[in-house]
Structure 1
Amino acid sequence: YADHVAGSLEFIDELALPPSASLIDLGGGASTLVDDLLARGYKNITVLDLSSIALQIARDRIGKAGDTVSWVAANVLDFDFPTNSFDLWHDRAVFHFLTDEEHRTTYARKVAGAVKNGGYFLISVFADDGPEMCSGLTVRRHSEQDLKDFFATDFEVVKSTRATHQTPAGAAQRFVSVLMKRR
């Protein structure tokens, strides 16, 4: 968990998408990314998370400004995303929980179908030297090359970075972030 996802915001700011751009924050829950996006003038935001409680925390925090946000409590693997609907799909720490190959393939199909041609996919997951467990669950770690190869059919890499995230408990977690563009 990260309250403010500064690394993601840097990528998003560099894209300079118009305020009308359609953005989805996957696994956004109680994160303040939606607050930061609203403050930047974005008007077409979806936040999808498994936890309706986490979504409600964000809604309560944001107040009336959150009325324009589409809040979706669902599993990414089961949700029917509208085709070619997002200019930016943001995933911070969802994909690394998908350790089953069938689930990973389903995820790739979902993101490819939902992101507009020429749109962007920003993914941040545990790096290949990151933790093997998170919240008591086994995760799959990735290198930049792993992500590039896995999503290569539909996306090309624009930029990637590696960073260390400090957890609320003080542990260091290595992350890799990759920005890709839909072919």
Structure 2
Amino acid sequence: MPSTRPEHWDGVFTTKADEAVSWFQATPETSLRLIRACNLPKDAVILDVGAGASRLPDTLLEEGFTNIAVLDVSAVALERTRARLGGNGHSVRFIVADIAAWQPDFTVDLWHDRATLHFLTEPRDRAAYAEALRQAVNPGGYALISGFAPSGPERCSGLPVLRADPAAIAILLGSDFDLLDAVEENHRTPSGSQQRFVFTRFQRHHTRGGVG
């Protein structure tokens, strides 16, 4: 149930070090490559959905981006990121929220999600996610969504996941979004196992249409 998500993820981030979780990346290379392909200005608004304790905001700050927001259901995870960033974190907006219930109060030029959508296995939660994305992403803006590919794991962190190919993600987002890139790759976990991921990059039409 959605109400159990904060407790579950606070427990994960309370009991495991950053480097101990399967999705840890010291440098999120594929996400960075796709972000760079968007050619965004340094003042573009970037939202990292399900950020956890990801190193992505660190790297974006190093690259000169000035409007970064991180959202996660776990206050513990975001506090860990805030502590790690130190003084640099003053320019980052921290949002503790369940993405399946979040109502955006600002718009973004780039929505980034690495391994969050695939935890939303209920149709109503995935629909709520897509609606939040459509409310948040500006015309001409981008959505970068990645998760387990169809050949990837069926569970992660003790939870079932819903694996998806790029076509399924495109259907979820709707006809306002064009698929620009789709790549599969193996993510090597800290324990040495391999997880098959799919990365997608979408752009929203410059004129808002219907839901799709």
Q: Same fold (TM over 0.5)?
A: yes
Q: Distance in 2 between matches of 1:181 and 1:134?
A: 28
TM score, norm. by length of structure 1: 0.96
Identical-residue share of aligned pairs (%): 41
Alignment deviations for residues 29-82 of structure 1 (CA, whole Å, 9 cap, x no partner)? 211000000001111000001111111111111110110100111111222202
Structure 1: segments with no counterpart, 5+ residues:
none
Q: How many residues align?
A: 182
Q: Does 1:61 align with 2:84?
A: yes
Cα RMSD (Å): 1.0
3-state SS, counterpart of residue 173 of structure 1: strand
Decide which of 153, 166, 172 is 1:131's aligned counterpart. Answer: 153
3-state SS, counterpart of residue 34 of structure 2: helix
**Corresponding residue for 2:13?**
none
Letter in 2 for 1:129: S
Decide which of 122, 135, 147 is 1:113's aligned counterpart. Answer: 135
Which one has a larger percent strand, Structure 1 or Structure 2? 1
Q: Distance in 2 between matches of 1:172 and 1:113?
A: 35
Letter in 2 for 1:158: L
Decide which of 87, 93, 96 is 2:115's aligned counterpart. Answer: 93
Alignment deviations for residues 95-153 of structure 1 (CA, whole Å, 9 cap, x no partner)? 00011011111111110110001100000010000000000100000112211222232
Moved over 3 A (4+): none
Q: Is the 8 A contact 2:166 2:200 kept in 1?
A: yes
Q: Distance in 2 between matches of 1:151 and 1:80?
A: 17
Letter in 2 for 1:170: G
TM score, norm. by length of structure 2: 0.83
